Structure 1
Amino acid sequence: MKKPLLQLTNCNSYYGPVQVHFDVSLTVPERSIVCLLGGNASGKSTTMKTILGLQVPKTGRVTMEGKDITGAPTSEIVRAGISTVPEARRLFGDMTVRENLMMGAYVRNDQIEIQRDYERVLELFPRLKERIRQKAGTMSGGEQQMVAMARALMGRPKLIIMDEPTMGLSPLFVDRVLDLIATVNKTGVSIFMVEQNASMALQIADYGYVLQTGRIVLEGPANELLANPKIRSAYLGDNVA
């Protein structure tokens, strides 16, 4: 059995007097892909913020490799081995691909290893090597997503948090990005992704959670969730009772 890498345990969060998380618990094991499914206002964004220290739960905790990181500064969370690929990429549009990639290593000072990781990333994303001097803001959505993923890898993470990685992409690039996520995972990096494309996400994931109005209402191996009538009805458009 794979060891737990990231864990949220009984997290209860509030925005003012309004509770938005109710005893949320989830685990991302080492070398795994875990997806979080849920509709609008389900609490997905709060989950991401909680992991990254941007939202501190009133009760409960977040651990990375057993170390409590609840509410820690984001820079400390990055040093603990967590990188992020935010929604809508959020690249530095006026900077080149190379400059964006190097921003991913901003908390590191091991220059020789940074250069080695840079070369490995370009092997993994050959399209970026062809466009290394191009400004990121002039690239297609799919190419920008590749830059965002490559930038996250430059932090040498153990876990990458991805927020809607296929949002706004053409069908061709959706397939390509999901293939790349699976490839990155095979290098030993765990992936935790919030994804509205439930069918595609569950096809590459190992395990999934379903969040509704701040509660985990369903969880299980991805192949079982993919076959679950409730999931098919709610997320895949099947007319299943």
Structure 2
Amino acid sequence: MTDALLRLDRVNSFYGPVQVHFDLSLEVPRGQIVCLLGGNASGKSTTMKIILGLLKPRSGQVVFDGQPLTGLTTPQIVRRGIGSVPESRRLFGTMTVRENVLMGAYTRSDSKAVAEDYDGVLDLFPKLRERHAQQAGTLSGGEQQMVAMARALMGRPRLIVMDEPTMGLSPLHVDRVLEMIQTINRQGVSIFMVEQNASLALQIAHRGYVLQTGRIVLSGAAADLARDPQIRDAYLGGAQAA
């Protein structure tokens, strides 16, 4: 691939003595949606932690827009242009929707532009305009996911990493969240997502990778992966992995 916005190059990571990744290499091209598929304990969520600086790899590089991220703190990485939608949303339940969304701008000091961007994300998520003064913990799962996505956008990211964005949502909210991911992507934001539902992820992604016990075992165009017999048997059939 060419013109990669994010690149992981031969990353090896550990939790204590246990190795999680083995020479992990992948790329997210500018303007694309890339999904990372894999079963439980394959290393998917740990990949997100490495990108965000929450876990330091033992070796290898994480490169964003041509510059290495390895060694930077999470706030520094966010300032470089990477937003996060973590697994289970991770909202502040007793804070309002507005307060949670504005937390995404904590690295910014341009208050006027922040206010303009806040109005912009409410246009993108009109339900949140109705709920702006409501405590985030009282929202439905789908509405909470919208808050998490709006919060990520408040940092003006060029890339958003999403960990299981449809987990625990009703079918109606799953469709809505996937639609919003595509809308955000069309606005010029690249997306790297771990998703438990391989079938849905491959429908909206441009490219995909399959991670198995810390190693990439398959990669390619999402449409090709959806037709691959190994993917169909492991992830798209009766034994679909979570």
CA-to-aligned-CA distance 1:185-215 (integer Å, 9 cap, x gap): 0110011000010000110000000000000
Match of 1:96 in 2: 96
Code of the residue aligned with 1:185 in structure 2: it is N
Match of 1:84 in 2: 84
- 1:167 counterpart = 2:167: yes
TM-score (norm 1): 0.97
CA contact (8 A) 1:36 1:192 kept: yes
How far 1:71 sits from its partner (Å)? 3.1
* d(CA) in 1 for partners of 2:17, 2:150: 39
* d(CA) in 1 for partners of 2:134, 2:59: 46
Where do 4+ consecutive residues of structure 1 move more than 2 Å? none
CA-to-aligned-CA distance 1:89-136 (integer Å, 9 cap, x gap): 011111111111111000000111111111110111011111111111
Code of the residue aligned with 2:221 in structure 1: it is P
* d(CA) in 2 for partners of 1:238, 1:141: 26
Code of the residue aligned with 2:63 in structure 1: it is T
Match of 2:218 in 1: 218
Match of 1:234 in 2: 234
Structure 2 gaps, min length 5: none
Code of the residue aligned with 2:215 in structure 1: it is R
- How many residues were matched structurally? 239
How far 1:17 sits from its partner (Å)? 2.0
- 1:112 counterpart = 2:112: yes
Match of 1:3 in 2: 3
Code of the residue aligned with 1:140 in structure 2: it is S
* d(CA) in 1 for partners of 2:71, 2:176: 34
Code of the residue aligned with 2:20 in structure 1: it is V
* d(CA) in 2 for partners of 1:15, 1:146: 32
How far 1:72 sits from its partner (Å)? 1.3
CA-to-aligned-CA distance 1:25-81 (integer Å, 9 cap, x gap): 010111110000000110112111110111111110001101111131000000010
How far 1:4 sits from its partner (Å)? 1.0
CA-to-aligned-CA distance 1:156-197 (integer Å, 9 cap, x gap): 000111000000000111011000000010110011000010
1:56-75 pair list within 5 angstroms: 56-75=56-75
* d(CA) in 2 for partners of 1:100, 1:72: 25
CA contact (8 A) 1:50 1:71 kept: no
Code of the residue aligned with 1:61 in structure 2: it is Q
| Other structure's SS at 1:104 match | helix
* d(CA) in 1 for partners of 2:118, 2:101: 8
| Other structure's SS at 1:169 match | coil
* d(CA) in 1 for partners of 2:125, 2:20: 38
TM-score (norm 2): 0.96
Match of 1:187 in 2: 187
| Other structure's SS at 1:53 match | coil
* d(CA) in 2 for partners of 1:20, 1:95: 35
Name which of structure 1's ranges 99-108 and 49-58 shifts more when overlaid on structure 2. Answer: 49-58
Code of the residue aligned with 2:210 in structure 1: it is V
CA contact (8 A) 1:55 1:71 kept: no
Code of the residue aligned with 1:226 in structure 2: it is A
- 1:21 counterpart = 2:21: yes
RMSD: 1.2
